[in-house]
Structure 1
Amino acid sequence: MNIPDDAFYTLLRQALDRRKTHTRQRALYYALREAILDGRLQPHSRLPGSRTVAGALKVSRNTVNAALEQLAIEGYLTRNRQGTAVSPLPSSPVCVTQACPPVTLAARLRHLPAGSRRDSPALWLTPGLPATNYFPLSLWRRLLDKVLRTEGSVLLGYGDPAGEPRLRKAIARHLALSRGIQCDASQIVITEGSLEGVGLCTHLLSQAGEVAWVEEPGYPGAKSVFIAAGLRVIGVSVDGEGLAVNTLSPDIPSLIFTSPSHQYPLGQVMSVSRRLALLEFAQQQGAWIIEDDYDSEFRYSGEPVPAMLGMRENAPVVYLGTFSKTLFPSLRIGFMVLPPALAGALEPAIASLLRGGHRAEQLALAHFIEEGHYARHLAAMRRLYRKRQAALREALASELTFPHQVYGGEGGLHLTLTLENVDDVMLAEQARRYHLAPGALSRLYLKPANALRGLVLGYGNTSASHYPNAIRTLNRLIAPIQHGRE
């Protein structure tokens, strides 16, 4: 079956006339491909010869041949001694310009917690952000240059799936001194932040349909990972001693996620009796505790609280740490510490699931730790954040006229403010108009209907000079919401 010449050449001339960023060859290719897919060029139809087409369109024969050859390679055309013909396609023609079908997501994704907005530059009072303007950037640049000069193109390969050995050794030495964790490099896996660590624990230590316990309120990232993996997520309330475990619960977990050294977002430190009880419960039930030690480096009174992983030999605990809070978020380097037996058992799986990367940054961080820069930076940031927390407490006491309660403990990068009869989601959204980005406390609950209402106020990235005006602004925004006028 031959194609009518008039219709065929009109199609191609229109394609050449419309071309903007495409070459003539690509314009012909796209025009013929679309005509085949939408049925204007029927299967087995024969095309004129390339010489004839080139003459009619006044283009190079090479241009025509290149377009036809590409279509033949992809299976749209068949070319042989008898000429060029449209190939029959296995399904009915579909218009390439029609709208995509409706996107159907997995049903469990409907239950994910609301995601956090990440502003750049960051707005004031954003939770979880350190004072990035205090990071020694010029020193970091020198360390990166040193690593690249020394290692060169070797760093362009994948590297060890578990992370650079030098960084893992440096972290092990730091944890022994600062967190009371005795481990070696073989137990440490470098991750892209603590959230990837949660994901790895979920893949490696649980099955879809099993139960995960989370703190209520608590870190929404962990809840999102568990829900996306098909786990049944149970919220466990926190009190003054931390996670209030109900050992008689019928929902026996495979995973227990907790932040015992500084509960997020209320700030409690889990008591030693509660820690030991949780360890005993997990051991009896065959559950794994995921210990999120997200900002324990910033404790402002007393000694650092020891990690649960170091409290008992062979504790069923996977310890997660991150440099996003202590250095800067875009570094995207965290780590997990596995008990010795688990580290050996999971080594093949880790090699299968991970690919080494960010090698220059990992080695620069290793030097940063080894040369004492990390310890000095932490000490300076503790002094800064201690002053900022005190200033924020003072601003809340002097500027906030509504009944409230402040949570936050003696460390970290945020304070949590509870308020009665306030739509905290609306309040947080309105605050953004004034360059403020506190988090809505109710969004940190699995069941917002039963949630405390209030704001999570990050002070890490906000100078103390802004606090009085920021709290006055929030105070002004609370009034109409609390009294039901919005």
Structure 2
Amino acid sequence: MHLQLDGKGPLHAQLTRALKGVMLTGSITRGARLPATRLLARELGVSRNTVLAAYEQLRAEGFVAARVGSGSFITPPLQPASGLAPGAPAVLPPQSEYARRARKYHDHAAMPGRATPGMRYAFQYGVPYTNPALTSAWARELAHAAAYTQPHYPQTQGLPALREAVCDYLARRRGVQTTPDDVLIVTGTQQAMAVTARVLLNVGDTAVVEEPHYTAMREVLQIHGARVHAVDVDAQGLVLDDLPEPPPRLLYVTPSHQFPTGVVMSLSRRLQLLDYAQRHGCWVFEDDYDGEFRYDAQPLAALRSLDRSGRVIYVGTFSKVLFPSLRLGYLVMPAGLREDYVTAKWQEDFGTSAIEQSALAHFMESGGFERHLRRAGRALNERRSALLKGLRDALGERIAIADSRAGMHLVTWLRDYDSAQGERLIARGRELGLDLFSIAPYYQRPPDRLGLLMGYAGMSVGEIEQAVGLLARCIEETRER
């Protein structure tokens, strides 16, 4: 019997898969006797216990039957897998409307902002500020939480200690007054939008996103079944005069630091948006993803702090201020929809990991979180300043910088570069080990000019200076061509 082990995992599991493969492809027939365990072990160069374990697994799954004194025999009515190679799944049509929409609107392999392997430098947005002190502190918090957290299922709404810490943080930092009863702990902004769509939207309802926008939020809404309408952003934020008729059910906005342009929604525009939502019975989803870091003044108060009619659903995340792998965020619910939101969260995953929640609650209560924010703010300001200086010194009038004086990235527009020239520039950068990221994927209607989304949190000041030098070289070379 010819068996090919795949080298993945324990030997007994590899042998089990190999035996299934020859059975399912018809290489051996029903009723055939498997080789004796000692003989097969000798042929494959493995221990007899490995073969015994594989045979026992096949018996447990009903593939073979053991006969005392005779050996193991194949039992199922096996048929070749329609000419497919072992393990090659047939591509089936979507089995539900949800799956059909998911295939239509989302391509996991084409998600924007992913780094190219092997690059020396990458202006990648979403890469966290790395801080060894944070890593050590978080390891201690996790160890303590793991030792003292109860082993049963976590509360669906989130641990009371973390919800209280979030309330205290929002009141001090973002001007949002709320109670722990109105806070829902989620795994991030993506889940916050998913449960919001379940609670507020029917299939076919209209939702508005900014143009440009965070594409994941648009896709969540589209996969849910909403009709998504992108409305332009100007220097003051969402252009309310362009809102569709009839009024949308939900508006997704990033008012404190618009993604990706960095625009801050003006006070007058905020008040107009709240008035519009109250008059038309709309809901406003406020994504405050980068509100903590501002470099010229105190962080602006959140849109939710101005809301007097209860139409704003406020969402924040710890992914950017700590690290994305944490997968923790929070949502301030409308009090009248609290039960609906908690039920939607329960349906998603029962509740978020209690160990990480407990660790984060203690980190916030002890002052470690605030210390990290201050340290990160100083470091990010240094990196931002280095990037701005490098761009201005190296490129001068050839670029226009949209500096929002906040967050962890800025947008640079290259003068006289259309989309095709931009693609050549990005390709040349990768040849030299520099990963550049176009702003175009964040538009439904991309402009025919090159804008670069330049994240600076993941590089040191020295690396930023080197990367800017490479960018200048790429621009010179592509202009010459």
TM-score range, shorter chain: 0.7 to 0.9
Q: C-alpha offsets along residues 312-355 of structure 1, whole Å, 9 cap, x if unaligned?
A: 23422211111122122222221111121122332223222233
Counterpart amino acid of residue 103 in structure 2: L
**Deviation (angstroms), 1:195:** 2.2
Distance 2:10 2:356 in 1: 41
Alpha carbons of 1:344 and 1:69: their partners in 2 closer, same or farther (altered >3 Å)? closer
Rg larger in 1 or in 2?
Answer: 1
Q: 1:415 aligns to what?
A: 410
Distance 1:437 1:247 in 2: 35
Distance 2:252 2:215 in 1: 11
Alpha carbons of 1:221 and 1:55: their partners in 2 closer, same or farther (altered >3 Å)? closer
Matched, 1:147 2:145: yes
Q: 1:460 aligns to what?
A: 457
Alpha carbons of 1:356 and 1:434: their partners in 2 closer, same or farther (altered >3 Å)? farther
- The answer to whether the 8 Å contact 1:265/1:408 transfers is no
Q: 1:157 aligns to what?
A: 152
**Deviation (angstroms), 1:101:** 2.5
Distance 1:463 1:53 in 2: 62
Structure 1 stretches of 5 or more lacking a match?
A: 1-10
Q: How do residues 217-366 of structure 1 correspond to structure 2 at under 5 angstroms?
A: 217-246=212-241, 249-250=244-245, 252-366=247-361
- The answer to whether the 8 Å contact 1:162/1:354 transfers is no
Q: 1:6 aligns to what?
A: none
Give % identity: 32
Counterpart amino acid of residue 319 in structure 1: Y
Q: C-alpha offsets along residues 420-474 of structure 1, whole Å, 9 cap, x if unaligned?
A: 32443443344344454342111211123x3552111112222233344322321
Q: Secondary structure at the match of 2:241?
A: coil
**Deviation (angstroms), 1:244:** 0.8
Aligned residues: 462
Q: C-alpha offsets along residues 370-415 of structure 1, whole Å, 9 cap, x if unaligned?
A: 1222222222322332333233222221111452211131211111
Matched, 1:109 2:98: no
Distance 1:134 1:37 in 2: 51
Q: Secondary structure at the match of 1:440?
A: coil
Q: How do residues 14-29 of structure 1 correspond to structure 2 at under 5 angstroms?
A: 14=2
- The answer to whether the 8 Å contact 1:255/1:289 transfers is yes
Distance 1:64 1:413 in 2: 55
Structure 2 stretches of 5 or more lacking a match?
A: 43-47, 95-99
Q: TM-score, normalised by structure 2?
A: 0.81
Distance 1:68 1:426 in 2: 57
Alpha carbons of 1:53 and 1:145: their partners in 2 closer, same or farther (altered >3 Å)? closer
Distance 1:243 1:302 in 2: 23
Q: How do residues 377-392 of structure 1 correspond to structure 2 at under 5 angstroms?
A: 377-392=372-387
- The answer to whether the 8 Å contact 2:154/2:353 transfers is no
- The answer to whether the 8 Å contact 1:247/1:281 transfers is no
Distance 1:365 1:480 in 2: 48
**Deviation (angstroms), 1:264:** 1.3
Counterpart amino acid of residue 345 in structure 1: D
Distance 1:438 1:310 in 2: 37
Alpha carbons of 1:62 and 1:140: their partners in 2 closer, same or farther (altered >3 Å)? closer
Alpha carbons of 1:359 and 1:432: their partners in 2 closer, same or farther (altered >3 Å)? farther
Distance 1:58 1:385 in 2: 59
Distance 1:75 1:198 in 2: 44
Q: TM-score, normalised by structure 1?
A: 0.80
Distance 2:18 2:128 in 1: 53
Q: Secondary structure at the match of 1:418?
A: strand
Counterpart amino acid of residue 147 in structure 1: A
**Superposition RMSD in Å:** 3.9
Matched, 1:191 2:180: no
**Deviation (angstroms), 1:191:** 2.0
Counterpart amino acid of residue 128 in structure 2: P
Q: 2:164 aligns with which of 158, 165, 169?
A: 169
Deviates more, 1:371-380 or 1:351-360: 351-360
